[in-house]
Structure 1
């Protein structure tokens, strides 16, 4: 396992764990994720990001049963989080209501829980999932850095990550199962969120087939100027890249375009 690190000084290594999410096969997905966590630790990464619902996929007919298994697997991942932060989304069952919830696990603690607010009606997510509270927190602090998060379809709603950026988030994390037919939007929206928020954006998507969907892959890291730093393209792989969160602060200081909407004088003059 990697050496425990509490604060970020200069570059920080982040890993994006692009994998095939086998719908409904929790054990197989879990074994894949363990291997990727070990690789991230071997690369001295401080955080590893997984796709949306990376243990279960969107197995609609079995969501209730699958969701009840999640606490056991989350506890197993908590044990693996002593020296590396593990991020991704899980099924969460609250009084038999199902949420798609982003967790950040570190030092055997839950650092953040954020439930998906914008459900994707095209694939009937809203028939099976409850939306998260729109006022919930979507940032967390780790290694002296503020992170922001959103989940899949929410990438299309700039307000969600802007909310995190206005709270000081320098690194934005996106966990997704995004289809190949909308690959162009996936890439352009990811770069746009980086540019408009002057932040690093790390995305993690599934690749290959998950249920009836062919996933786009192309998990990537963009810098605050929207420049692509690394991509997994369509492979099952883990990509580790060094980023310097201080660079986001420098970009914001040199070109201060990150302002609150009500600061704009839209009336002109």
Structure 2
């Protein structure tokens, strides 16, 4: 399997410019034979709170455009989604001109008033999907700090964990440490895509990365706009789990009184 991370500057509120950048990244990923390309959080709009309602109503038009580009490559990232005048931060997987999977962010970042402008997703919604014979798990930005979210995906069999984010440079160390930790504790590949450069008032950390199930860094985009691609065998996750069975199974968690 070949996965690309499309690290880019997310220009707040400029959907057309961001779309043009993403389209260029998709074409490059197609040319290098990638199966899937992962984009940052809200990569078309950013967190433009002033124009959030207007931008959310434009999202379907751009999603339709990206659906046309999803022939032979899966396109993943988060979009503004307006449902009954409530706005969600929703992860999409687009493939073969269909919406294969959606997951709305459940842990909203109160520090930046994300919880004021967005509606949280249903806590019981699945955060895994199947594609290419592989089970993928998903979390969005701030959710990386909540290990139970990706643990839920791992217990559902996820071999590859996808993280879409706009993460600030001030917390770069946490971004790297948490991503590595999620790989080790879940014995799964972790593929992260963050924005770089400035998005609104935030300077983003970049450093989109791929970690293997042992927490080894396979690739890192550092702090520039770039497409990074990695080839790996998702079944290596199963191999590691068998050789070093540290992943707690669902029945163990039930015995501990834990709820996911």
In structure 1, the gaps of 5 or more residues are: 1-11
Provide the rounded CA distance (Å) in 2 between the counterparts of 1:263 and 1:221: 29
Separation of aligned partners in 2, 1:154 and 1:21: 20
**From 106, 117, 122, the counterpart of 2:111:** 122
1:75-102 CA distance string (max 9 Å, x none):
0000100110000000000011000000
Aligned partners of 2:156 and 2:166: how far apart in 1? 27
Look up the match of 2:199: 210
Matched, 1:52 2:45: no
Q: C-alpha root-mean-square deviation of aligned residues, in Å?
A: 1.2
Residues 1:185 and 2:170 aligned together: no
CA contact (8 A) 2:155 2:250 kept: no
Q: Which structure 2 residues correspond to residues 214-233 of structure 1 after superposition, within 5 A?
A: 214-233=203-222
Alignment partner, residue 33 of structure 1: 22
Tell me the TM-score normalised to structure 1 length: 0.93
Instruction: Give the alignment of 1:33-182 within 5 angstroms.
Output: 33-182=22-171
SS at match of 1:58: coil
CA distance in 2 between counterparts of 1:250 and 1:203 reads 22
1:195 to 174, 180, 184: 184
Aligned length: 256
Classify the secondary structure of the residue corresponding to 1:175.
Answer: strand
2:220 pairs with 1:253: no
Alignment equivalent of 1:22, drawn from 2, 11, 15 = 11
**Structure 1 runs (4+) greater than 3 angstroms displaced:** none
The CA deviation string for residues 36-56 of structure 1, in whole angstroms up to 9 with x for no partner, is 000000110000000000000
What does 1:234-253 align with in structure 2 at a 5 Å threshold?
234-253=223-242
State the distance in 2 between where 1:23 and 1:158 align: 29
